[in-house]
Structure 1
């Protein structure tokens, strides 16, 4: 790997780290932001959902924009938008401004993430490409793990606003490196159709459903406005499916992918499992801080074993899946995650870390290790070669959508304090455990034992 290749890799890692950090660091800051801006449970949910909504809906479009207008251009544009939105987040005088800026951050992340990976794909070849993508993924996991700790320290030492201002030097360095070291690609005026109607329908439809679910889980429950929002969002998502069908292979979500029962099962598994995991990453730091009296730094550090164990154990289990097939691992993995959620029922008013939190996190990490690599292998094996990129991108978007919907359903839990919060948390983890068991059952739809090597 020559000097330009190394600097290109550093650029892509630095750019994607912005999105990975911000997807986790705000979870630790929810209590502090809530106190500072007098935010209710719905406002706290939108701080997460406002970021995940455009990221879920526009991730595939972001990749298509890179193919059309140039990957370097869209990478830099995404970083600039993300940085400007971060400044607005840090200066936000009220909750409404902060949520709007979080939405803009999500758009920026949807532009920069797929193009940072695509740049690696066209810069490197063969074994070097695999090594570069592996480093990119590992760096993403590391920044996602370190984000809550760094964010917690910034909150405790300075202010929650610093978790957004820290993005500015990172973004500036990424833009400089991109303009200096990433090869520009030509502007393609024709030949690539952009699915703007699909992107608009997906964004507005998901937004309406999210708004309705946040209202339903609040103290007012079902209201006329909530029912209308849910019906409107559902209608728009149905129109999205119709639109994608008409666009055929030019759609950002080609429906031909769903002709495979394997892909359908894997998509359902991804949505349910990552929805439950997304709930955990929001709820656990909140419970540790509000009910357990942890500092923001302690709450961020409490999550560290999850990505560390995942990084250490997942490659080994991925190798075993290559030997014995993915289906068994995709059944076992979510079931072990469900057992980890049930262990969280032991978390009491004192919220003991070593005896209550750590064993549950370790079990969840083990279950996810059984799942992550085999799931990726199975996704690639469930479709033909010309659709592997679309299938991978869609599966990533589905995982984000699962986290978005899961966060939208947390209203009743975030509204409580003290012992009531702990009881509500217990109810949420029981539901999450059931969802994980259903996710494991979805693996039964996978008929091909992909990845298995003949003995």
Structure 2
């Protein structure tokens, strides 16, 4: 098999892994009303079918990336896909709600491995000059999975019942395992100076998992005591990592202004993009009076645009460079958010969808360029954990956006229940929320510009220091 063919098959396996894990995030949401009826359970219990998956991904993604660096990424990725696939089968056969929730947590554990290691593998499978295109492809698969999840779940439920929502993921997982096993490069774990493999930081991993879990639950349930636990956990985690011989995440990693800026902008932009999913449906239904079917079609426009923009965005990154595309993507995202904050409701659906297209296309450009910049500079022994941290920043942004931007919307609408608020109140809430979103993207743009200036200044200093002296 030629080198080009081998690369294509490897990317196919990685893309399928990204698609499956993204589907797992969104496909179960539409089944919650059905599950509430089947298991005769209240919504607060049924929602754990979704929360268990998200919590597992959020808490384990960094540890999964680090473990892949230590024991071998191919070996762990195959195990992660296997766990996800087996858990999907258990979900489909679950006789009780608690079994389904536990199986969804196991699915999330497998997905954490898949999300952390798919991007880490790009550096081992694709030439550096084609990194942007590969990242764009993975971004496209993520968007396709997110967009197709609700509609695919609805079709499966109506045609075959709720169990089909989970059983349909089994053949996809099997295909991903077979392709990855055959075409991904094998690699051993990292060895120490004396040929011994560094020990896995179990204490740091557990501390980070508890901290992230408390934060995610605080954002989801609104319990402030969990936010305090998360803050204390973060402090203890930093102290433990500074003393660890082989830390999960080296504190010095975050002293790199470029990497820290990339993680911060990723979290901010993900927070903003969640606004389109939190606020958008209420504006379309209450503000514009669309029925459920048309709301679903309008909401799907954003992920569809991201899916169509991903691969071209990667090619643009390879041609123009990651930093330029990052700035352009952030500028487009800010422009779209600002337009949504000022355009009158009288423009109707077009007045919402046109800025949304600009905003989402900008996000696709930003995400592809940002992922490329971060992963291209990561050393071979650190790609897994860096990919995990990058995925974590995005997930934390999504979790934060759901809570914070939803609270801004409710406050700006001056309504106790936005689901029954009048059209004028919803329009006001929408404009204020997207104004806040625009400010957050401008902040991210400022961070990116500052990091770029620092990087160029550092490059000039190195050039002067390395120049021959006359």
CA, structure 1 residues 13+80, in 2 after alignment: closer, same or farther (shift >3 Å)? same
Structure 1: how far apart are the matches of 2:346 and 2:210?
Answer: 38
On the 8 A contact 1:309/1:365 being kept in 2, the answer is: no
Structure 1 position 398, deviation (Å): 0.6
Equivalent residue number for residue 259 of structure 1: 255
On the 8 A contact 1:67/1:192 being kept in 2, the answer is: no
What is the DSSP-based 3-state SS (H/G/I as helix, E as strand, rest coil) of the residue aligned with 2:292?
coil
Alignment coverage as a number of residue pairs? 440
Equivalent residue number for residue 219 of structure 1: none
Residue number among 399, 402, 415 corresponding to 2:397 in the alignment: 402
What is the DSSP-based 3-state SS (H/G/I as helix, E as strand, rest coil) of the residue aligned with 1:448?
helix
RMSD: 4.4
Structure 2: how far apart are the matches of 1:382 and 1:119?
Answer: 14
Equivalent residue number for residue 103 of structure 1: 105
Alignment map for 1:41-440 (pairs within 5 Å): 46-92=48-94, 96-125=98-127, 135-182=137-184, 184-186=186-188, 190-216=196-222, 226-247=223-244, 250-281=246-277, 284=280, 292-295=290-293, 298=297, 301-308=300-307, 310-311=309-310, 314-315=313-314, 318=317, 322=321, 325=324, 328-329=327-328, 332-339=331-338, 341-342=340-341, 346=345, 354-355=349-350, 357-369=352-364, 371-376=366-371, 379=374, 391-408=386-403, 418-420=419-421, 427=429, 430-431=432-433, 433-440=435-442
Deviations 1:386-432 (A, max 9, x none): 87775454222211121123335588789957533975696377435
Structure 1 position 30, deviation (Å): 5.1
Structure 1 position 309, deviation (Å): 5.1
Structure 1: how far apart are the matches of 2:380 and 2:126?
Answer: 19
Structure 1: how far apart are the matches of 2:31 and 2:285?
Answer: 10
Structure 1: how far apart are the matches of 2:322 and 2:170?
Answer: 45
Structure 2: how far apart are the matches of 1:411 and 1:89?
Answer: 30
Structure 2: how far apart are the matches of 1:72 and 1:323?
Answer: 27
Structure 1 position 120, deviation (Å): 4.7
Residue number among 448, 452, 459 corresponding to 1:448 in the alignment: 452
CA, structure 1 residues 429+202, in 2 after alignment: closer, same or farther (shift >3 Å)? farther
Structure 2: how far apart are the matches of 1:34 and 1:340?
Answer: 39
On the 8 A contact 1:56/1:398 being kept in 2, the answer is: no
Structure 2: how far apart are the matches of 1:300 and 1:90?
Answer: 28
Stretch of structure 1 that moved more, 398-407 or 444-453? 444-453
On the 8 A contact 1:416/1:424 being kept in 2, the answer is: no
Q: Which structure has the larger Rg over C-alpha atoms?
A: 2
Structure 1: how far apart are the matches of 2:75 and 2:108?
Answer: 18
On the 8 A contact 1:330/1:375 being kept in 2, the answer is: no
CA, structure 1 residues 357+134, in 2 after alignment: closer, same or farther (shift >3 Å)? closer
What is the DSSP-based 3-state SS (H/G/I as helix, E as strand, rest coil) of the residue aligned with 2:198?
coil
Structure 1 position 35, deviation (Å): 6.1
CA, structure 1 residues 174+199, in 2 after alignment: closer, same or farther (shift >3 Å)? same
Structure 1 position 437, deviation (Å): 1.4
What is the DSSP-based 3-state SS (H/G/I as helix, E as strand, rest coil) of the residue aligned with 1:104?
helix
On the 8 A contact 1:244/1:252 being kept in 2, the answer is: yes
Structure 1 position 172, deviation (Å): 1.8
Structure 1: how far apart are the matches of 2:445 and 2:138?
Answer: 28
Structure 1 position 298, deviation (Å): 4.2
Structure 1 position 99, deviation (Å): 3.8
Structure 1 position 383, deviation (Å): 8.5
Structure 1: how far apart are the matches of 2:123 and 2:378?
Answer: 20
Structure 2: how far apart are the matches of 1:175 and 1:88?
Answer: 18
CA, structure 1 residues 433+180, in 2 after alignment: closer, same or farther (shift >3 Å)? same
Equivalent residue number for residue 221 of structure 1: none
CA, structure 1 residues 259+312, in 2 after alignment: closer, same or farther (shift >3 Å)? closer
Structure 1 position 55, deviation (Å): 1.9
Stretch of structure 1 that moved more, 323-332 or 21-30? 323-332
Following TM superposition, the consecutive aligned residue runs of length 4 or more in structure 1 with deviations greater than 6 angstroms are 38-41, 286-291, 380-389, 410-415, 451-454
Structure 1 position 107, deviation (Å): 0.9
What is the DSSP-based 3-state SS (H/G/I as helix, E as strand, rest coil) of the residue aligned with 1:193?
coil
